Amino acid sequence: MLVFPNAKINIGLNIVEKRADGYHNIESCFYPVGWSDALEITVDEQFSFQADGIPIPGGASDNLCTKAYQMIATDYPLPPVKMHLLKSIPIGAGLGGGSADAAFAIKALDQHFNLKISFEKQLDYARRLGSDCAFFIPNKPAYCFQKGDISEDIELNLNGRWIVLVNPGMHISTAEAYSGIIPKRSEFDLRIVLKEPIGNWKHKVKNDFEATLFPKYPLLAEIKEALYKQGAGYAAMSGSGSTLFGIFDLEKDLSKHFAEFVVWQGRLD
């Protein structure tokens, strides 16, 4: 079975409060985009995990796809499989690529072996693997809160708009991103603001990480400003960085403009 785990962007990201367990409660709109990895699962004599493409830190046992298989195998009769991941989504880029791989592994194993795992149980598996993983089970626009692992549907349709994602190649760890954050509630309700025309978002829909990371990494602010200069209706950093994105009304090829960086561009669904 071959599946294509896709990335996500954060449209608005408010760090609300630090939790007693050390995590943070957030408020954010997660929106799926077409930048994808490829994950193939085939029956084999023994379990194995292989990754190609962008190098992934850690060994096979550390990968979330492996952990997804092991977790499901404790509850369901799974045969040994070979998992082959072709990694294209940048790592540590705020795009949720590793979380997507894990969630798609859960869904693929369920479908391929007809396990009939309920939707709620798939969500539970995903939450155990990581805060962002659960979003990729339904894999549709959502308002995410608490650790980012709880969500509700959101009225937001960007279907047909054009998105350009620019990754400057720097890895920003989640710990580094959170180190300068002072949690606080936003003055705007993201769910309400996102119902307004996209041109109104610029001064209301914020990513709290930008305030602490842009002074440290000025290039990020420069890329965001460049996206606006190229006509983006809205531009921001996704997650804890380092990918920036711009949303445009019409198709726009910016691959040459950002030639020194990794660029993905395509239509939003």
Percentage of residues of the chain with pLDDT beyond 70: 100
- 8, 67, 107, 206: which is the annotated catalytic residue? 8
Mark whether 8 is an active-site residue: yes
Which pLDDT score is estimated for 148? 86
* CATH classification of the domain holding 214: 3.30.70.890
96 is in an annotated binding site: yes
- 172: confidence class by pLDDT, cuts 50, 70, 90: confident
- 245: confidence class by pLDDT, cuts 50, 70, 90: very high
Domain hosting residue 19, numbered range: 2-152
Q: DSSP string spanning 112-169?
A: HTT----HHHHHHHHHHH-TTGGGGTT-S-EEEEETTTEEEE-----TT-EEEEEE-S
Residues 189 and 64 occupy one common structural domain: no
Residues 174 and 120 occupy one common structural domain: no
99 is in an annotated binding site: yes
Residues 58 and 172 occupy one common structural domain: no
Q: Stretch 241-258: mean pLDDT, rounded?
A: 97
How many residues are there in the chain? 269
CA distance 247 to 195: 15
pLDDT of 9 above 90: yes
95 is in an annotated binding site: yes
98 is in an annotated binding site: yes
pLDDT of 185 above 90: no
Residues 220 and 194 occupy one common structural domain: yes
Least confident segment among 13-22, 170-179, 213-222: 170-179
For residue 112, CA distances in Å to 43, 69, 75, 108, 261 come to 10, 12, 16, 6, 37
- 37, 101, 110, 132: which is the annotated catalytic residue? 132
Residues 115 and 166 occupy one common structural domain: no
Which pLDDT score is estimated for 173? 82
Q: Stretch 131-142: mean pLDDT, rounded?
A: 96
Which pLDDT score is estimated for 175? 84
pTM of the predicted protein model: 0.95
| Tokens representing residue 98 in the block | 């590793």
Instruction: For residue range 83-115, list pLDDT tens digits in order.
Output: 999 999 999 899 999 999 999 999 999 999 999
Residues 26 and 133 occupy one common structural domain: yes
* CATH classification of the domain holding 39: 3.30.230.10
- 261: confidence class by pLDDT, cuts 50, 70, 90: very high
Instruction: For residue range 30-62, list pLDDT tens digits in order.
Output: 999 999 999 999 999 999 999 999 999 999 999
CB atoms within 10 A of CB 237: 26
User: Residue 188, class by beta-carbon neighbours within 10 Å (0-12 exposed, 13-18 middle, 19+ buried)?
Assistant: middle
Residues 109 and 168 occupy one common structural domain: no
User: Residue 221, class by beta-carbon neighbours within 10 Å (0-12 exposed, 13-18 middle, 19+ buried)?
Assistant: middle
Residues 116 and 189 occupy one common structural domain: no
Least confident segment among 25-34, 96-105, 149-158, 160-169: 149-158
Q: Which residues of 123-149 are buried (b: 16+ CB within 10 A; e: fewer)?
A: bebbbebbbbbbbbbebebbbbbbbbb
Which pLDDT score is estimated for 180? 84
235 is in an annotated binding site: no
Q: How many folded domains does the chain comprise?
A: 2
Mark whether 140 is an active-site residue: no
Residues 148 and 172 occupy one common structural domain: no
Residues 39 and 127 occupy one common structural domain: yes
Residues 8 and 124 occupy one common structural domain: yes
Mean residue pLDDT across the chain: 96
Q: Stretch 147-174: mean pLDDT, rounded?
A: 92
| Sole residue written with tokens 């709880």 | 150
141 is in an annotated binding site: no
Rg of the chain, C-alpha, whole Å:
18
39 is in an annotated binding site: no
For residue 40, CA distances in Å to 36, 82, 89, 109, 114 come to 13, 8, 16, 10, 16
